[in-house]
Structure 1
Amino acid sequence: MHNLFPLFIAMITAIVLLEMLATKLRVAYPILLVLAGLIVSFIPTLPVVTIDPDVIFLIFLPPLLCEAAWSISYKEMKKWWRIIGSFAFLVVFFTALSVAVVANHYIPGFTLAMGFLLGGIVSPPDAVSTGAIMKFVKVPKSTSAILEGESLLNDASSLIIVRFALIAVGMGQFVWQEAAVSFIWMLIGGVGIGVLLGWFFIQAHKRLPTDAPSDIALTLIEPYFMYWIAEQFHSSGVLAVVAGSLLMSNQRLKFLNSTSRVRGLSVWESFVFILNGIVFFIIGLDLPEIVAGLRANGTSLREAIGYGLLVTAVLILARVISAYAAMIATLIFRPSVAPRARSSKQRFFMPLLLGWTGMRGVVSLAAALSIPLVMNGTVIPQRHLILFITFVVILSTLLVQGLTLPYLIKRTKLFDIVLAEAPEEVAKQQMKQGLKQHVYQFLKDKYEKEEHNREAMERILRHWEEKVNAADDSWMNERTKVIFIELLDVQREYLEKLNCESEIDEDLIRSQLYQIDLEEERLRMI
C-alpha cells in the first residue's frame, strides 16, 4: 500500500495537468489520460497495477451513474424515452448479437456464447467520453438528451447480457425460461429497489437535523447503498442507482436547502472528475499485464490487434445501422416527435453522427475484468484475449471517433440548431421576464397594504426592478430578509411550474435555480 501511495498522488497530479492540456487542445480528456497511462506503463520501475473488477463496479460505477442521473434533464428523458429506450436496450442487444456472430465466425475458439460475452462487454458506449467531447461542440438539445439518457441505461442492459453469457459459457447451455424470469426480475427489482431507497433517503434528509456537510456526505454514500442492496437481491445495481438518483434529482428542491445544493455541486464535480480520471488512467496502466496474459496463451499480438479492430468496426457499423433504423421507425410511427432538420442532407447525416458517438470506456473494462479465470473447474483460455480486444476497442474508439467527432460536427455543420428548438437567449429572456412579472405581482398582492417599514418595502421593489446591489445593507433587517427569502421560494415554485408546463430547456431553468440558491446564500451572510 505504501509503495502505491506515491503513484496514486502522482496519478491525480497528472490527471489535473492532462485535463488542463486537453482543454487547451480542445480534445476529450479521457483520450489523453488513456494514452498517458499507456506511456507510463512502460516505465520499468513502476509497480504492476492489478485491477480488481469489484473495485471498478462498487467504488467507481455507483457515483458516476448517480452524478449523471442528477445532471440529466428529466423532462428531455420523458420526451425522447422511445429512442432512448431503443438505444439502451434494443441497440445494445443488436450490437452484442452482431459481435457474437462475427467473433464466432472469425476468431478461433470463440463459441456463440463466448461471442455474446464479448459483445455484452463492448456494447455500451461511455458517457464520460461523449460528455467530454460535447463540451467543445454545439449539438441540438434532442441529440444530447438522447446520448445522456442512453448512457444511463445501456450499462445495465449490457451487464445483464454479460451475466447471462457467463452462465451459458460456464454451463455449456442456456435455459431461456430461467433467463427470461431472471431478466424481468433484474429490471423490475432494480428499478423498484432504487425508487424505494430513493424515497427513503429523501425522507431521511427531510426528517433528520442535517446541515450542508452531512447532506453532502449522505449524497456521496447513498448510491453505494442503492447498488449494494440491489446486488444482494440479485437484481440490477446499475438500474437501482439510476432509478433512485433520478427520483432524488427530481425532488432536490424539496429535501436539500440552498447551502447543500450550492456546496454539493462543487464537491460532486471534483469527486467525479477524480474518479473518471483515475479509471481512464488505469486503463492504460493495465495494458502490460493484459499483453503478458495474451502471450502466455500463445496468441500473437498482431492477431489480437486485428481481432480488436474487427470488433471495433462491427461496433461502429452496428451503431450507425441502429441510428438509421431508429430514425426511419420514428418518421414512420411517430413523425410528430422526430427532430426537425433544415434540409434532407441534414436529416440523412444526423443518424450517422449519432452513430459515431459510441466511444467505449469504464463499464467495458470492468465487465471484461469480471470474467473469472476458472468456471466450473474449467479454465477460460479466451479471457486474456477478451481483455485485450476490449482494450483495443476502448483505445481505438477514443482515438478514431473521439478525435474525429468534433471535426465532423464543425465541418459538416449538420448539427446547427434545428428549427424546432428555440434559441437559448430567447428562451432565457422569456423565462426571466416571466419570473420578474410573477414575483412583482406577488409583492403587490401580498405586501402592498403593509404600511410599517415602508422604506424597506420600497427598497425591495427597487432591488427587484433594477437588480441593483445596495452598498449599504443596514436596511436589511430580519423582517426584510424573511421577505426576500420568501420571494426566492416563490421564484423556485414558478420555475418548477414553468419546467413542467413549457418547452424551455431544463438546463436553463436549473441554471436560474442555481443563481437563486447563490442569492439566498448571500442573504444569509448579511
Structure 2
Amino acid sequence: MTELRSVELIFLLLLLFIIWFGQIARKIGTPYPIVMIIGGLLLGFVPWIPKITFDPDLIFLVVLPPLIYSSAWTTSWRDFRFNIVSILFLAFGLVGFTVVGVALLTPRLLSGFDWRLGLVLGAIVAPTDAIAATSIARKVGLPSRIVDVLEGESLINDATGLLALQFAVAMVVSREIPTVSEGVLTLLWLVIGGVAVGLAIGWIVCYAERRIDDGPIEIALSLLVPYGAYFAADAIHASGVLAVVASGLFLTRRSATMFSPPVRIQIWSFWQSFTFILNGLVFVLIGLQLRTILSMIRDHGMLDLIRDGALFSITLIVLRLLWVFPGAHISHFIRRKFDHQLEPIPPTRQIFVVGWTGMRGGVSLAAALAVPAVLDNGNPFPQREFIVFLTFCVILVTLVLQGLTLPALIRALKLQGSGGPDCEEREARRLVLEAAVAHLEQSQADSGEDVDEAYEDVVGHYRSRLAGLSSSEDEEVSLNHRRFVDLSKEAAKIERETAIRLRNEGRINDQVLRRLERELDLTESKYAKALED
C-alpha cells in the first residue's frame, strides 16, 4: 500500500511539472520539449524531489507506440511519398553512417572504447526524436519541405537504429559478428513484416470504424491501434515502429470519411492532450535523470565528463552535417532520374538547417538504459554507465543548444517564412466554396419559390466567405468580410453570455449549457480562423 501511495505521489508530481513547464513554454514562446528537459534537469537537484527512474520498458512499450502513431497520423502521405528518397537517405543512410562513424572515432576520442562499444554507442544516438525535431522546427517557422523531411526521418529511423543496436550489443555480449546477408535479411523482414502488420491492422480498424459512430468507443479504438500494431509486429520479430507508422499513414488517409464530424473533433481533442502529456512525461523524466546518471559513474572526474560529453556531442553534430550535403545531392539526382521530380535541389542554407536539426530524445536514453548490465561470461558490460552519460549529453546538447539556436540560425539564413502564404490551402478553400455555391444555385433553380429566402441566406453566407479569399486589392470586399466576421463573433459572444445567464437563473441545466457552449466554441473557432486567413 505504501508503494502504491509513492507511485501516486510521483505521478501527480510529474503531471504537475508537465502542466507548469508547458505553461512557462507558452508564455516565453519556447518549444515545450526544451523547457521541460531544462525544468526536469533543475528539479533533479532539488533535495525533496523523490528519485524517479527512467524505465526503458515504459518508453518502448507504453509511450513510444502512441507518440509514433500520433506523428504518423499528422503526416501527409503525399508529402511523405514525394520526399521518400530524401527521408530514406536520412533514416537509413545517415543512421548507418553515424553508427560506423562513431565506431571508428570513439576509440580515438574516448578512453576505454573499442570499435564494438563504438557501434553500441553509435546505434543508440543515431536515431533522431520523432517529436523534438519537428515540434521545434514548426515552432520556429521552418519551410514546410524541411519539416516534412525531418518528420519522415524521425518516424522511421528508430527501426534502423534499434536493429543496429541489436547487432552491436550481440557483438559485445556474446562476441558474435553477424554476416552481411544476415543483417540484410533481418532488415528486410523488419521493414516488410512491420509494414504488412501495420497495413493489416489499419484495414481491420477502418472496416470496424465505418460501422461505429460513438465518440468514446472510437477514441478507445484509436488508442488500441498503435499498441496492437506495435505488439503484433514485435510478436513476429518485425519492426513495431514501422507497423505503427504504416497503420497511422493508412488510417489518416481514410479519416475524412471514416469518422463523423463530432467524433473527429473528439478524437483530435483527445490525442492533442494525450500526446502532450506523454511528451511532457518523457522530456521531464530525461531531465530528472542527470543526478541518477552522475551517481552511477565513479571512475571519471567531473571535468573529464564535461569534456568527453561536449566532444562526443560535437562529433555527432559534425557527422550529421558531413552526411546531409552529399546525401541531398545524391537523393536529388535519384529523384530526378527515377522519380521524374523536377524540383530544384534545396539551397545550401536549407541543407545546413536539416543537418542542424538532429535532435535526440527519449528513445536514445531508453536504448542506452536497456543495454544489458552483464555479458554472457558474467562480467559487467564495459562502459555501460559512461554510455548512458554520453547519451544524456547528446540529448541535452542537440535538444537544448541546437533547439535554442535554431530561431537565430533561421533568421540569419533568411529562412523564416520563406514558404510564403499557403497558396495551396487558399486555392482549396476557394474551390470548395465555389463548388458549394454552384450546387446551391442549381438546387435553388430546381426548387420552388417558397424556399428562395432560405437559399439566399445560405448562398449569401458562402459568398461572404468567398469574399474573404479575394485579392487584397479589393479593399471594400475584404472590409465587408471582416465586418461580417466581427459581427458574427460579437453575436456569438452575446449568445454565450445569455446561455450562462439562463443557467445561473436556473432556467436551463448545465447539460444544456454545455451543448450550447460546444456549438458556440466551434463557431468562434471558425471565425477566429477566418480572421487569421
The answer to whether the superposition gives a TM-score over 0.5 is yes
Distance 1:425 1:132, change over 3 A: closer
1:451 to 448, 472, 478: 448
Residue matched to 2:277: 274
- Pairing 1:497-516 to 2, within 5 Å after superposition: none
Residue number in structure 2 paired with 1:185:
189
CA distance in 2, matches of 1:322, 1:211: 48
- For the residue of structure 2 that corresponds to 1:424, the secondary structure is coil
Counterpart of 1:87 in structure 2: which amino acid?
L
1:229 matched to 2:232? The reply is yes
Q: Read off the aligned partner of 1:349 and give its amino acid letter.
A: R
Q: CA RMSD in A?
A: 2.6
Distance 1:395 1:426 in 2: 37
CA offsets 1:407-428 (integer angstroms, 9 cap, x no match) = 110133145525xxxx425444
CA distance in 1, matches of 2:348, 2:155: 26
Name the count of aligned residue pairs.
467
Instruction: Please tell me whether the aligned partners of residues 136 and 406 of structure 1 are also in contact (alpha carbons under 8 angstroms).
Output: no
Name stretches of at least 5 consecutive residues in structure 1 with no aligned partner. 473-513, 520-526
Quick one: structure 1 residues 349 and 217, their matched pair in 2 at CA, closer, same or farther if it must change by over 3 Å?
Answer: same
Contact 1:331–1:338 (8 Å) recurs in 2: no
Report deviation, 1:444. 3.9
CA distance in 1 between counterparts of 2:374 and 2:309 reads 23
Give the structure-1-normalised TM-score: 0.83
Partner of 1:370: 370
1:155 aligns with 2:153: no
Structure 1 residue aligned with 2:510: none
The equivalent of 1:491 in structure 2 is: none
Match status 1:175 vs 2:178: yes
Aligned pair in 2 of structure 1 residues 368, 453: CA closer, same or farther (>3 Å)? farther
> 1:468-507, aligned counterparts within 5 Å?
none
Partner of residue 348, structure 1: 348
C-alpha separation between the residues in 1 aligned to 2:395 and 2:342?
A: 31
Q: Which runs of 5+ in 2 are unaligned?
A: 466-483, 493-520, 527-533
In 2, Cα distance between equivalents of 1:305 and 1:413: 34
Alignment of 1:117-516 (within 5 A): 117-176=120-179, 177-207=181-211, 209-295=212-298, 298-334=299-335, 337=341, 340=344, 347-376=347-376, 377-417=378-418, 423-424=420-421, 426-446=423-443, 448-451=445-448, 454-455=451-452, 456-466=454-464
Instruction: Give the drift of 1:461.
Output: 2.9
In 1, Cα distance between equivalents of 2:335 and 2:204? 37
After superposition, the Cα gap between the structure-2 partners of 1:338 and 1:392, relative to the gap in structure 1 and judged at 3 Å, is farther
Instruction: Write the distance in 2 (CA, Å) between the matches of 1:210 and 1:429.
Output: 31
Q: Relative to structure 1, is the Cα distance of residues 235 and 429 closer, same or farther in structure 2, using a 3 angstrom cutoff?
A: closer
Please point out which of 7, 21, 33 is paired with 2:10: 7
By how many angstroms is 1:232 displaced?
Answer: 1.1
- Percent identity between the aligned chains? 34
Amino acid at match of 1:367: A
| C-alpha distance in 1 between matches for 2:402 and 2:330 | 26
CA contact (8 A) 1:70 1:246 kept: yes
TM-superposed deviation, 1:217: 1.5
Given that 1:69 and 1:152 are in contact with CA atoms closer than 8 Å, whether structure 2 keeps it comes out as: yes
- Paired with 2:455 and 2:416, the residues of 1 have a C-alpha distance of 48
**1:104-139 C-alpha deviation (Å, 9 max, x unpaired):** 333233232221111011111223222332244222
Match of 2:498 in 1: none
For 2:495, the equivalent position in structure 1 comes to: none
| Higher mean C-alpha displacement, 453-462 vs 282-291 | 453-462
* Cα deviation, residue 391, structure 1: 0.6
Contact 2:85 2:335 in 1 (8 A): no
The answer to whether the 8 A contact 1:197-1:226 is kept is: yes
1:107 to 110, 133, 152: 110
Cα distance in 2 for partners of 1:411, 1:106 equals 32
What SS does the corresponding residue of 1:181 show, helix, strand or coil?
Answer: helix
Kept after mapping to 2: 8 A contact 1:305/1:389: no
Quick one: which amino acid aligns to residue 465 of structure 1? R
C-alpha separation in 1, matches of 2:362 and 2:36: 13
User: Residue 189 of structure 1 aligns to which amino acid in structure 2?
Assistant: G
Distance apart, 1:3 and its partner CA: 1.8
- Asked if 2 retains the 8 angstrom alpha-carbon contact of 1:194 and 1:243, the reply is yes
CA distance in 1, matches of 2:230, 2:207: 19
1:485 aligned residue? none
- SS state of the match for residue 5, structure 2? coil
Deviation of 1:231 (Å): 0.8
Structure 2 CA distance for partners of 1:437 and 1:138, relative to 1, 3 Å: same
2:470 maps to: none
Aligned partners of 2:131, 2:308: CA distance in 1, in Å?
Answer: 25
Check conservation: 1:230, 1:240, Cα contact below 8 A.
Answer: yes
CA shift, 1:267, in A, is 1.0
In 2 relative to 1, CA 366–338 (structure 1 residues): closer, same or farther, beyond 3 Å?
Answer: farther
Instruction: State the SS of the aligned residue for 2:132.
Output: helix
Determine if the alignment matches structure 1 residue 68 to structure 2 residue 65. Answer: no
Distance 2:368 2:137 in 1: 27
Matched residues in 1 for 2:422 and 2:128: separation? Answer: 32
Asked whether the equivalents of residues 213 and 260 of structure 2 are also in contact (C-alpha less than 8 Å), the reply is: no
Whether the 8 Å CA contact 2:39–2:284 is kept in 1: the answer is: yes
Query: Once the two structures are superposed, what CA deviation does each residue of 1:368-387 show, in whole Å capped at 9, x if it has no partner?
Result: 11111123233203211111
Q: Give the whole-Å Cα distance in 1 for the aligned partners of 2:45 and 2:7.
A: 16
Counterpart amino acid of residue 22 in structure 2: E
Decide whether the 8 Å contact of 2:89 with 2:331 is kept in 1: no
Residue of 48, 51, 56 corresponding to 1:53: 56
> Could you say if the C-alpha distance between residues 312 and 337 of structure 1 is closer, same or farther in structure 2, counting changes exceeding 3 Å?
farther
Give how far 1:447 is off. Answer: 5.3
Change (3 A) 1:445 1:17: same
CA contact (8 A) 1:194 1:241 kept: yes
Post-superposition Cα deviations, 1:458-485, rounded to whole Å, max 9, x if no partner, equal 443333333577989xxxxxxxxxxxxx
Does the 8 A contact of 2:193 with 2:239 survive in 1?
A: yes
Q: Secondary structure at the match of 2:108?
A: helix
TM-score normalised over the length of structure 2: 0.82
Shift of 1:331: 4.9
Distance in 1 between residues matched to 2:450 and 2:390, nearest whole Å: 73
- Counterpart-to-counterpart distance in 2, 1:80 and 1:191: 18
3-state secondary structure, aligned to 2:136: helix
- C-alpha distance in 2 between matches for 1:338 and 1:457: 46
**What do residues 277-330 of structure 1 show as CA deviations (whole Å, max 9, x unaligned)?**
1111111212222222211xx233333333322221121111111111123224
Deviation at 1:452, TM superposition (A): 7.3
